[in-house]
Chains A and B, each alone.
Chain A
């Protein structure tokens, strides 16, 4: 099912019935929704930076917003597959690549915000913190794992790789998600409510994946 969807050239094909036309519009609408939803925080953040109030340490606020948005979108990306499984709606698959790339965008922004707004482009210090501090190491590892995923998002690459290899590579998103949650957990001072929430969601997605694989084997 998934394979057929992803190998179709272009995004929509000519509808052969009114029902299909409605279905195609719904998919288009959903993809626009994802676009708007994933870019809205950037608009909000930019506006807040120049006209609003990000608090006494605005750079820190930007690092936090980019990080949480990125992690949330990463988990949503993972969640689109079970969403497709449960609902049978192909819209999730149609928007999955887009949201995955948005997650990558936000996490790269998160790292750049940290380097620029928090560390002031002080490269010796950036290097030192990346090497020495565990929570930074987890974060860097998570982002590094996502790079091949971002680079192989495109259909041409996917075809060249072969579906099987592509699918194996993109399972790395679970590990990246795990490292991201650990990164958040380790930097938390005392209030573990939010990292716990993210960890629970990720655990649920992992459990679903495993159970689904086991059932499929039968």
Chain B
């Protein structure tokens, strides 16, 4: 079973508590995002482990569980944690597992801003405080035509957004991942423009299926799966489900996203799972379920058509791929 490994930092790099407290106060006053991105890894103290300790306790309690994969058996934890696309660690499927320990997830802050009433930078423990967690078993479909069934632990994104009061001008939600080339070897090459960035339309973001996940299989999120907090949008290709989120911003104009910027003919903004719209270089009509042999038919919206098809009722999905 995967055990979370705390990063070992030499004594010389341990920040004195007084300095740590003042830094955290500074962060809470909405410091620059550059500070937020650089903060993980610079600060270390017993206080900073608050969110992990809290979360571990909550995960020992029973969580309500919803099976949203029509009873399909969940993929093994081993397959969930050893076959990942997380290019911050390298482009091999095992790289995230091998190099995942370099990700410093503690302390972790989430900067929430843009078209909201209550903006700021919040420690992860404050984001999770008082938030009910639940288990959801979702299908997960990668654009590369493989898929898994994953029992996530998290809470609906809409809960977080509502707490911060989106204004009427909020039309899109941008998510940004951690930028730490010193520790994340994949970010030393520009395979993609770092930090990784994704976005959703506000109605997609506020949809009850859209999840912010902090755990898997009733345990803390493994680093290679996007610790400590990641997005899960089960009706879209996996690259939309951004990992290791440090920033959430609500905006009026549709933003660019990392994969779309890298390769616009292959990666669209919507990226809805759609067996009728092939990828330019391979078919999307079938997929391989990890852990099973053979191929299976890909389902429209990854099997969540009943819940989400109405969002795209009058859109040509061949154009808006």
Contact = CB atoms under 8 A, between A and B. Distances in A.
The interface residues of chain B, by DSSP majority, are classed as loop
Contact of B94 (A55, A133, A190): A55
Given A120-B294, A190-B262, A55 B191 contact: no
B82 interface: yes
A127 to B, nearest CB: 13
Contact of B290 (A57, A120, A132, A191): A57
A186 interface: yes
Contact of A57 (B83, B263, B283): B83
A93 B268 CA distance: 52
A129 to B, nearest CB: 7
B88 to A, nearest CB: 13
Interface in B233-280: 262-263
B288 interface: yes
A187 interface: yes
B78 A56 contact: yes
B291 A187 contact: no
A162 B126 CA distance: 81
Given A56-B79, A190-B263, A122 B295 contact: yes
Nearest to B290: A56
B217 interface: no
A190 B87 contact: yes
B293 interface: yes
Nearest to A192: B191
B83 A191 contact: no
Contact of A132 (B83, B146, B283, B294): B283
A132 to B, nearest CB: 7
A55 B262 contact: no
Contacts of A187: 281
Given A55-B82, A57-B146, A120 B293 contact: yes
A56 B75 CA distance: 10
Interface residues of A, number: 18
Contacts of A134: 281
Nearest to A118: B288
Interface residues of B, number: 24
A39 B257 CA distance: 45
Interface in A109-152: 119-120, 122, 125, 128-129, 132-135
Contact of A191 (B82, B91, B281, B293): B91
B185 interface: no
B65 to A, nearest CB: 24
Contacts of A191: 87, 91, 191
A191 B82 CA distance: 19
Contacts of A189: 91, 144
A119 B145 CA distance: 12
A119 B288 CA distance: 10
A129 B279 CA distance: 13
30 contacts: A55-B82, A55-B94, A56-B79, A56-B83, A56-B291, A57-B146, A57-B288, A57-B290, A120-B294, A120-B295, A122-B295, A125-B286, A128-B283, A129-B283, A132-B283, A133-B281, A133-B282, A133-B283, A134-B281, A135-B281, A135-B282, A187-B281, A189-B91, A189-B144, A190-B87, A190-B91, A190-B263, A191-B87, A191-B91, A191-B191
A207 B183 CA distance: 40
Contacts of A135: 281-282
B171 interface: no
A192 B82 CA distance: 22
B164 interface: no
A13 B146 CA distance: 56
A55 B83 CA distance: 7
A119 B286 CA distance: 11
A125 B285 CA distance: 11
Nearest to B75: A56
Interface string B81-99: 0110001000101100000
Give me the 5 closest cross-chain CB pairs, A-B, nearest first: A56-B83, A191-B91, A56-B79, A190-B191, A56-B290
A125 B94 CA distance: 29
B192 interface: yes
Contacts of B87: 190-191
Interface string B124-155: 00000000000000000000101000000000
Contacts of A128: 283
Interface in A189-217: 189-191
Contacts of B283: 128-129, 132-133
